[in-house]
Structure 1
Amino acid sequence: MSGLPFDKRDLEILSKECKNLNIFPIDLQRYLHASSDNPIVKPLIRLVNEGYEYLSIMGDEEIKQLVMTLPSGIRMQVEFDNFTNFKDEEYLKRVALYHLVHILSISDNSFEKIIKNDPQKNIVLTTYPELESKLDKDGLLTIDDDFTLYDCGIIYKNHVLHYHQFLRRGYTANPNFDFLGRFLSYYHNTNKINTFRIAIDMQRIMPKEYWEHLIECDAWFGPNFDPNTLDDKYSVGITVKKRIKPSIFDLTNILDRTEFLWTYKDDIKTFEIEEISDSVYKFDRLHINRYIHAERNIQEKQLQHFDGAVKVYTHEYEKRLDSQLPNEYRAPIKIKLFRIDGNIDTNKWIDLISHFFKGNEMILEYFDPDGFEAQFGQRIREYKKLSLERIPLKD
């Protein structure tokens, strides 16, 4: 068997909704336990369960061959060894999920479909036929007061219009915020004397309530730390905390975000933290990110290993900014700073982590959100309000 014969209708639904909500296939794992109100959840779960049913009747060698057909960046999520149980439900569902990720990634990157721009799939004009009068002969949307512009999309009535695929970084990632931010700033400053038009993606559209939800959660996604799940092998995944900008903390330590990742294998839960410095925060042209690695034996119920390091990025740091654990762009240099092995007290472990990441408020936000709010919440909001009132928008 060369691949899993997923239901084509569910695949089309999932692909469509992922595009509408700007959800990338590699991020699907975190939606398996999301609210069923999200339109991608039900087709995603159906497809993963369907894939599991197929895999459960396959032989070990067939499963191995299927895993080996995945690209290396995806395959690393389901790599096997001599101890892998190919009848384990959790493992087979992960294989099904990442095979699904692979299929959707190929579909997302079909540039022939983008260029063809099938008018039969023009969901924007189907939803708002009046917009046709605002399109010029090249298909560009004429911007006027009917629209509210943001660098991540255009609000029109009850929906968000996405910018064209070729206005995305690398044509596949998030919008080119550097360009779009400047474009929008120039529009707001000169729209009385200049006419502005821009290309939008006619084949995807986002209900405004989902965009508002994403904006509210833009500073983070994923669960906060819960000591009750330390020994739960199913409590894994990534949490990302973004620094709320403008930030009072940027005065001493300019960071973009902090990534927290839990993984599990062979009774060991592994925990990683990497703080991601802002592109402007450099030391002799180097980007230096602090990093933590820890291991917990869930059978023994103890933290058995804990080390800290810095990752040094000498070039192409934008690749790290555009990626995240566990599929991050790897730093060419990693310098270990400390290591503890044995039976490590959980409270002392958290205390050491917090002080290792001195000047990084996102660590407290992850481990103790109530304490974070009590200590910093009001100060952050007041500083942001004051900064927005005093600092003019930049081109």
Structure 2
Amino acid sequence: MKYNVIHLINDQPAKNGDVYDLSELLNLLNQGWKDGTLSCLSHDMLRPQAWIDTLGIVLDSKSASLYGLRKMPQNTEEIRWLKAKAKKFVYENFYSPPECDVDELQSGLRECLSGNENYLYLGCSCVCDEDIVSKKFPDIAKNCDKSGLIPLNRLSPIGIGVFEFGEYVIFAHEYFRRHLHRLNNINKELLDKLTCLSKNGANIKIALDFSLIGLKKTFFECFEYEHWWGPKFSNDVSNLKEGVCCHSASDEIKKFHKIHKQDFFWYKNNNEYTFETEEISLYKLHHTNFEYGCRYIHSIIDINKNMPIHLDGAIRGYSIDEMLERENTDITHQRRGLIYKKLWRVDGDINLSDWKELICHHYKDNPLAGEYLGPISVSAVNDKIENEDFKDFENAGPNCMISLLTKKKFNNYTDDFNVLVTKNIHIDGEPFSYVEDSFYELNKFFLQHNKKLSFHSDHIVVAFEDNFYDLPLIYHAGSKAIDNANFSLDVLSEFFKSSIGRDEFFSFSLAIEYEEYVLVFSLVGEIKDLYFLLNSNKIKFPNNKNKIDTFIKETYKHISEIKNSILPKIEINILGYISFKRIVLYENIDYFIERINDQDMFIYADPRLGELLGTKINIATEIIKTSCTSCKADYLTCPCLRSTNSSYTITDYNLLGFCAVL
């Protein structure tokens, strides 16, 4: 299985303006740490690609962000595991509406049911039965034209593509959904634009799903946060040429969306231009009476007005043989008599910018239409996106991560204080677990309180000659885990207090067993900031899980009080803690040795390498033996402390390479 830590959502405004506060992020964390959720390719529920468990929340002085752990299968057995998880997930989330809702739907729609109905949850509890809308609301069908479209201004939307009728709701046609399937999300951008134009007086009709009725009181609008943006278009079609033009999809579009190409066709008829465009989708369908469904646009432009006067969007259905033929021809030579379903139409004068935007949104996930129609200054649009939507925010320190993990991720530890060595470094190509020399200074503070830190694996001791220090994870087990973890916070406070004044940065991580899960808490920051947070009991672990949310909110509040503190990049471990992002360069590095006297020397890398990486390069050494400047014993095990003006010299070591904190 391949594991990746991924960013899910934060409390900053989304691209559509929505804001999720910390309370909502905590709800997502509490819901997902145990059961997880399905991750699908291109947000298509029929194409599962991975499983995601929510991992933890990262806090800094500016934002709170929710992260997850993505598990991607790498072999046949793991693929079978994911398929089983996906099948269970789909059944529980889409095919298992509450029984009380099913009873209410059956009671209210009894005379309309065929006996072959299915019950679903699609943003609300629904019943799916052939032509049930016409049976329950016969006037709706009477108001439809010969293409099955109804004026949008006769419907009362309570959500995107959801319309209320008394105590029930009906829906826009299922072909408005991704890959034409009810389990997938609806084309929000297209329907939102159509609704907006309808409210402004445009003559718009849409197709409805006549086989689906929902219970209005259960409706809860869902949102998809895969950002789809339409280029900003001008009111100009003068550069569009008559004839056929074909745009081929990129390898990425072919892989993720199964779109092969798109044809664009202009032809003139008296004082009108007719425009047709169709994408060729190689996505195989299994729930329709055709194998391939391709999105199609037809429009008429009045030459004298230089303005569209008609626009409609539809789906063309192909069999396998028809698609094989269509794939190798252009739009002017395609076979006639295809299965055809019109989804929407706009009649009357249409602003050219709106016209282009509707076409772009009809082809959601497919950038070829926007590419062909010609946005205003593509480079300017991209610059705007880069500068505003994708700004690389400074890492506002200190950073804190609080994660919830199942106990099965850890061994059955029995000691009160367990040191988990999770970092590796390579020596002659072999990985070795290591802890940094700074840990042994902290260990002396625990020993002063007669507390033993227990190691459960072999490790080496490494010194990185910089001012960034990652302390290993300390796991607190047993009935006194919470009390012991709070004791560890007190010891860490003493440790950081003893080092105030030094230009040093630390990360530390504590894991605490609660009844239901393991809470992992980590902090990264300057010594003065870490001491500020740990001093005066600002941060204390609650004695039961019901107070965890309050604990996280209070921690966020305290971190937000720290201003003007900047950290280098951090990285997130799959065990839900944060540390400095450090790289070790093992070979082919030019370096210099400068001797001070017969005993002391400095080793440093070619400074041009640091300039190339944009950071300082320091040496990394394996410590074999040390000597305390005060008692002359091995400093790693003697009781002397830096705070009492003791230090050490390295008397035996292995040069491992050079390191850089990014």
Structure-2-length-normalised TM-score: 0.21
Structure-1-length-normalised TM-score: 0.34
Q: Which has the higher helix share?
A: 1
Q: Which has the higher strand share?
A: 2
